[in-house]
Amino acid sequence: MAEVQDLIKKEPSAFSFGKSERKLITDPINDNNPVTVQILGVCSALAVTTLLTKAIVMGIAVTLVTAFSNMFTAMLRDYIPKSIRMIVQLVIIAFLVTVVELALKAVNYPIWKELSVFIGLIITNCILMGRLEAFAMSNNPWRSFLDGIGNGLGYSAILIIVAAVRELFGKGSLLGFKIIGPSAEYVLNTNSISWLNWYTPNNLVILSPAAMFLVAIIIWLQRAKNRKLIDIS
């Protein structure tokens, strides 16, 4: 009887949230970030980061699709023939992307109109297929769900950082609020603050090459802080 109780104690719950489960969420945000370490999903990081609002919405969409596609794939993995597993994975992703796109269209039509092409292209995002193949096909649904959340948050973090810099220095605003610019409608009016007279929003920051440089700077800073990442990618 005592041996059975010991086994029960050692056997983790299906929905446990211990150290290994927490690492599934925290590691992709920093040491195993899908954008800056695995170098996946960079194209959308360049395309949708002109505005912070767009980056946040895109990050939420990718996180939801990654989490639930991981979970559904893990639930079905024992029933999916290996010869058609990637087709099944694509069907799951396409279904979830359609649900997310229709929900966004109903809730916030202007944002959907701006992001409609990029929301559809989530289907081709390397992060999703990478996590399904590398993790969901060999782990249980709960851990796969957490892995999807972690990778979605890691992707979102990079998008939000890049978008915040691009919108602030390119348009002088954040989330539509006018922060810094050469008129009284901005919180920081550069015409009335002597030490900010030199500053004007730089539209070059809005261009895609600027986003590429920003992602490269983040990669450099991350590897300067954590040198074990230098030889990973």
- Indicate the pTM of the whole model: 0.87
Q: What is the pLDDT of residue 125?
A: 85
Buried b (16+ CB within 10 A) or exposed e, 74-83: bebbeebeee
Residue linked to tokens 């092409």? 117
| 1 has a pLDDT exceeding 80 | no
| Single-letter code of the amino acid located at 127 | I
Confidence of residue 233 (pLDDT cuts 50, 70, 90): low
158-196 tens-digit pLDDT: 999 999 999 999 888 898 888 888 888 888 888 888 787
Q: Which letter does DSSP use for residue 199 in this model?
A: -
Three-state DSSP class for 178? Answer: strand
Q: What is the pLDDT of residue 149?
A: 96
- What is the residue extent of each domain of the chain? 38-228
Confidence of residue 2 (pLDDT cuts 50, 70, 90): very low
CA distance 136 to 24: 12
Contact 28, 130 (CB under 8 A): no
CA distance 132 to 141: 11
